[in-house]
């Protein structure tokens, strides 16, 4: 009986043939991206220094479906379609009448959803003649995924890795090198942005904002090099929609319709990947779902950030995006969910929150790890610390179902496994994790530095 099954699988022939572009269905077009100096809307020519033409076109695309090139589908077939599970053991452990389903992206070569866009970006860069890619990585998930994808399409990758992670996570660096990438600790002597920071503070441990500045500068100043970003931008959200498109087919096999859909949000891409294809139905007058974005209290971009134009990096080299932001000078406390520590949020996800189509909740990291451990003991997969935020929200919802005696169907994205993050679990078991919400004073300070924008809005 299909509805009793635990696992819902699709054949390779069911890997989606197109990505879904939500911009086509939004009631208002997304706010324009502004030039960092003139503050006028950017043109494709402005972006040509750092991105290849096909990705610029996708960034600004208005058509609903964008074809996935066959070579990209071939690489996707290494791990896609990913499984959808019914979390029966978790349901039993919680003694809840809720039906819980999760899409598992941890089966990818690098253990998370990130290769869905890394492979597409490497393919389009190669097709457009890019000779080298520069990028940044915090904890290493994105750098590892782009290293893998660049290797497949023969595009060498330079990764600027935040110094503190470079020193503390040697395995991540080794993984990038295993895939053939060059990994540089950031701030570095290789860029003006890096040298500037080092001249002020030779011991700087770096930040994602600084590493982005270094990668963007490298792309902007080298003829053969382009830049790749692992989240936030529209084309990244687009590539991730394979997650939700597959899930819709798998839920049909399970004969299930979700009432609640949950994802964790750093820059918004795994969340967007799952929920945008469901919102496609809502935006065209169909069913409405309750959609929850789960984020850390230590980096509360959606729940406490401003909805304003801001830079994506510390040195203010990137264009201005209208998004939920904590300010580009934001420095997160040392939480273990490395992927959820960025100051900004996808403009598309930010717009959906503004439209009231999604809601956001923030969680402290200790209860998130508790949720992750409950999940691991029930379902057997140790989740990435980022995913634990989604699991916390799911368990809370399932417990409400139990209280109310209601059998709601809950769907979430298990965006990655935690095998590279066992130190975080070790710290949790040793009682060393602290819950440090972002203080009102630092929030006011970092938001005080938002750029002035007179144009558009
Ligand atoms: C990078 C990462 C995230 C955060 O990025 P999003 O763009 O918000 O998805 C979350 N989970 C994992 C496992 C990651 O690697």
Q: In the chain, where are the structural domains located?
A: 80-111+235-448
Please tell me whether the peptide bond between 81 and the residue prior to it is cis, using omega within 30 degrees of 0: yes
Q: Which of 311, 325, 324 is nearest to 213 (CA)?
A: 311
Select from 208, 230, 232, 266 the residue to mutate for testing ligand 1; criterion: most ligand atoms less than 8 Å from CB.
266
Q: Is any atom of ligand 1 closer than 6 Å to the C-beta of 265?
A: yes
Ligand 1 atom nearest the C-alpha of 114 is 15
What CA–CA distance (Å, rounded) separates 8 from 93?
21
What is the structure's pLDDT at 340?
79
What is the structure's pLDDT at 1?
47
What is the structure's pLDDT at 338?
72
For the stretch 48-97, pLDDT in tens is 999 999 999 999 999 999 999 999 999 999 999 999 999 999 999 999 99
Q: How many whole angstroms from 416 Cα to the centroid of ligand 1?
A: 8
For the stretch 351-368, pLDDT in tens is 999 999 999 999 999 999
Question: What letters, b where the CB count within 10 A reaches 16 and e where it falls short, cover 11-40?
Answer: eeeebbeebbbbbbebeeebbbbbbbeebe
Task: Report residue 169's pLDDT band, with 50, 70 and 90 as the boundaries.
Answer: confident
What CA–CA distance (Å, rounded) separates 1 from 7?
12
Mean pLDDT of 423-451: 90
Q: Is any atom of ligand 1 closer than 6 Å to the C-beta of 114?
A: yes
What is the structure's pLDDT at 257?
98
Q: Is any atom of ligand 1 closer than 6 Å to the C-beta of 346?
A: no
What is the structure's pLDDT at 419?
95
Task: Report residue 146's pLDDT band, with 50, 70 and 90 as the boundaries.
Answer: very high
Select from 229, 264, 276, 345 the residue to mutate for testing ligand 1; criterion: most ligand atoms less than 8 Å from CB.
264
What is the structure's pLDDT at 342?
85
Let me know: does 39 contact 311? Beta carbons within 8 Å: no
Q: Is any atom of ligand 1 closer than 6 Å to the C-beta of 269?
A: yes
Q: How many whole angstroms from 223 Cα to the centroid of ligand 1?
A: 30
pLDDT higher than 70, residue 429: yes
What CA–CA distance (Å, rounded) separates 150 from 75?
12
What is the structure's pLDDT at 415?
98
Ligand 1 atom nearest the C-alpha of 271 is 9
**Domain formed by 80-111+235-448, architecture:** 3-Layer(aba) Sandwich (3.40)
DSSP 296-335: ETTS-HHHH-EEEEEESSSSS-SPEEEEEES-TT------
The dihedral formed by the CA atoms of 272, 273, 277 and 278, expressed in degrees to the nearest 10: -60
Let me know: does 135 contact 142? Beta carbons within 8 Å: yes
Q: Is any atom of ligand 1 closer than 6 Å to the C-beta of 165?
A: no
What CA–CA distance (Å, rounded) separates 181 from 159?
7
For the stretch 380-428, pLDDT in tens is 999 999 999 999 999 999 999 999 999 999 999 999 999 999 999 999 9
């Amino acid at each position: 009986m299909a509805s009793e099954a635990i696992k819902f699988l699709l054949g390779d022939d069911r890997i989606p043939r197109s990505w879904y572009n939500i911009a086509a269905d939004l009631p208002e077009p997304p706010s324009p991206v502004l030039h960092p100096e003139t503050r006028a809307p950017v043109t494709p020519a402005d972006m040509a220094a750092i991105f290849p033409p096909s990705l610029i076109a996708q960034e600004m695309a208005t058509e609903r479906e964008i074809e996935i090139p066959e070579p990209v589908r071939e690489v996707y077939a290494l791990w896609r379609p990913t499984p959808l599970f019914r979390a029966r053991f978790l349901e039993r452990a919680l003694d809840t009448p809720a039906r819980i389903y999760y899409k598992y992206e941890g089966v990818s070569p690098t253990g998370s959803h990130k290769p869905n866009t890394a492979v597409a970006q490497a393919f389009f860069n190669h097709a457009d003649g890019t000779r080298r890619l520069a990028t940044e990585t915090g904890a290493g998930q994105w750098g590892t995924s782009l290293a893998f994808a660049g290797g497949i399409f023969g595009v060498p990758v330079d990764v600027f890795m935040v110094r503190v992670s470079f020193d503390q996570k040697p395995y991540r660096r080794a993984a990038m090198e295993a895939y053939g990438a060059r990994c540089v600790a950031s701030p570095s002597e290789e860029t003006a942005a890096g040298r500037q920071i080092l001249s002020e503070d030779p011991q700087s441990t770096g930040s994602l904002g600084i590493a982005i500045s270094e990668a963007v500068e490298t792309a902007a100043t080298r003829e053969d090099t382009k830049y790749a970003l692992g989240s936030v931008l529209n084309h990244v959200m687009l590539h991730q929609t394979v997650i939700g498109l597959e899930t819709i087919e798998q839920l049909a096999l399970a004969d299930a319709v979700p009432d609640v859909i949950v994802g964790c949000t750093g820059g918004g891409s795994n969340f967007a990947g799952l929920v945008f294809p469901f919102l496609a139905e809502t935006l065209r007058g169909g069913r409405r779902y309750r959609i929850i974005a789960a984020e850390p209290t230590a980096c509360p971009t959606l729940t406490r950030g401003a909805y304003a134009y801001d830079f994506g990096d510390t040195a203010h080299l990137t264009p201005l995006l209208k998004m939920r932001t904590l300010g580009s000078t934001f420095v997160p406390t040392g939480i273990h969910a490395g992927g959820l520590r960025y100051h900004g949020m996808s403009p598309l996800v930010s717009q959906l929150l503004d439209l009231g189509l999604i809601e956001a909740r923030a969680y402290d990291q200790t209860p998130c790890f508790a949720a992750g451990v409950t999940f691991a003991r029930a379902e057997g997969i140790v989740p990435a610390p980022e995913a634990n935020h989604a699991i916390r929200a799911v368990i809370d919802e399932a417990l409400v179902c139990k209280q109310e005696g209601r059998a709601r169907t809950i769907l979430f994205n298990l965006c990655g496994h935690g095998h590279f993050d066992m130190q975080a679990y070790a710290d949790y078991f040793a009682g060393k994790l602290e819950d440090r919400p972002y203080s009102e004073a630092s929030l006011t300070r970092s938001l005080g530095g938002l750029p002035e924008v007179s144009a558009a809005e």
